Amino acid sequence: MPYPVLLLALLLLIGSAGTVLPADTSGSLRVFYFGNSLTGATNPAWHGDLGRSAGKLWEAQYWLGAGWQLWQHREELEGGRDLFGTGPKGDLTLDPELIRSASYNAKRFYEGQWDAVVLQLFAANLTHETDTMWSKKLSRKKDVGDLQAAADLIQLALAKNPDTQCFIYQVWPPMPAGKIPPADQLPEWARGKTDLRAAEFPARERFDYAKAWLQPYVKNTDKPWQGEYGPLNRTRDFSYQVFEGLKQRYPALWSQQRLRMIPSGDAFLELDKQMRMGKVPGVSDIREFYTDVQHIRKGLPRYTAAAIFFACLFREHPGKLDWRVYNDSSKYGPDPYHDAGEMLDITTERANAVNDILWDVLTHHPFTGLTE
């Protein structure tokens, strides 16, 4: 066979297997996170140290409102100016006065230089136009769904840096709430607390991760939490519909691989499957990752979430990461709401297993940009 023909055949064979794209050779990223406590579950304050352990400069700034959705970040960034009018307006010109008078977190975003932004999904609906949210009157009728809010934040990020990378952070589904135990059956962390909530005691035995995650999303503005197996907005289908909508609105970003996903929910699905097969030593299934109905525990769960961020941002297998900071309970500080809960220890065997499972998921995922 002539050499050019042989070379072409080899290239076709390699391409058909799915080629993993090269690592981020710059080794340096300045990233701004828009999210809430589920972004906080990665412990962003430690990302710099985690990145350095793998030879990367990972500068992370984060804006984490309690329970916040993307439209709330947009509201703060607009500062009452209605930057986006009643529809898409093309490139934005950012008024210096807007930046000068911005709130603290908004000013941090406006005044910093960011190579990438991470946008955490959490809205109740894909699209929903209203002039009132949570008893607060908006300046006009706006779309508070995740698709439009994410699109608007991407537009702001591009106005600051036309070369920015945009990541959509897909989170995991919540467990159903259980019941508060009688006083004499409370766990140690709950004793003496007077403001206990049913959400702090998930009904683990009733939770089926795969069924909850793989429900089809159907808009239900009045009661978006009422899916057969849990909230429909916390599903793979919801996140994929958001992402497909953004691909249509920002085709150049997608084609240049500057619009990508951090698919934690999908990664947890595969982890659950592998755990049930005994592939993660000492962890029976993904339910062990949860503290309450949606937060995740210290140790292995939080390291896992951070490793997904690292692998997606830097396009690199997380095996070089030094996970020990996530295994030190004293570093987590006060936990008044029991979000981080009890430590799920990381061992070398567990870390290796998790890292390999994550990389396999991410390099076969349609939206991570890690395969051609």
Cα-to-chain-centroid distance, residue 234: 12
Q: Tell me how far apart the alpha carbons of residues 137 and 134 are, in angstroms, rounded to a whole number.
A: 8
pLDDT exceeds 80 at position 280:
yes
Cα-to-chain-centroid distance, residue 94: 27
CA dihedral of 308, 158, 48, 257, whole degrees rounded to 10:
40
Angle at which helix 236-249 crosses helix 146-160, to 10 degrees, equals 40
Tokens representing 225 are: 């939490």
Tokens representing 52 are: 């350095």
Which one-letter DSSP state was computed for residue 59?
A: E
| Polymer length of the chain | 372
Neighbours of 50 (CB within 10 A): 25
Give the confidence band of 219 by pLDDT, cuts at 50, 70, 90: confident
Give the confidence band of 93 by pLDDT, cuts at 50, 70, 90: confident
pLDDT, tens only, 346-362: 999 999 999 999 999 99
Topology annotation, domain 26-362: Rossmann fold (3.40.50)
Question: Which is it for strands 129-133 and 136-143: parallel, antiparallel or unpaired?
Answer: antiparallel
* Least confidently predicted of 25-29, 274-278, 285-289, 324-328: 25-29
| Angle (nearest 5°) at CA 191 between 189 and 192 | 125
* 239 vs 139, higher pLDDT: 239
Q: Tell me how far apart the alpha carbons of residues 212 and 298 are, in angstroms, rounded to a whole number.
A: 23
- Long-range CB contact pairs, 92-96, < 8 A, 24+: 92/155, 92/156, 92/159, 93/159, 94/156, 94/159, 94/160
Tokens representing 49 are: 């140290």
Question: Which stretch, 13-17, 184-188, 221-225, has highest mean pLDDT?
Answer: 184-188
What is the rounded average pLDDT for all residues in the chain?
91
Angle at which helix 236-249 crosses helix 264-276, to 10 degrees, equals 150
pTM of the entire predicted model: 0.92
Domain regions of the chain by residue span: 26-362
Smallest CA-to-CA distance from 160 within 209, 225, 91 is with 91
Asked if 133 contacts 144 with a C-beta cutoff of 8 angstroms, the reply is: yes
CB within 8 A of 187, min separation 6: which ones?
Answer: 181
Q: What share of the chain is helix, strand, coil (3-state, %, to 5)?
A: 45, 15, 45
pLDDT, tens only, 133-178: 998 899 999 999 999 999 999 999 999 999 999 999 999 999 999 9
Asked if 316 contacts 310 with a C-beta cutoff of 8 angstroms, the reply is: yes
H or E stretch including 31? Answer: strand 28-35
Smallest CA-to-CA distance from 343 within 283, 285, 293 is with 283
* 272 vs 83, higher pLDDT: 272
Which one-letter DSSP state was computed for residue 330?
A: G
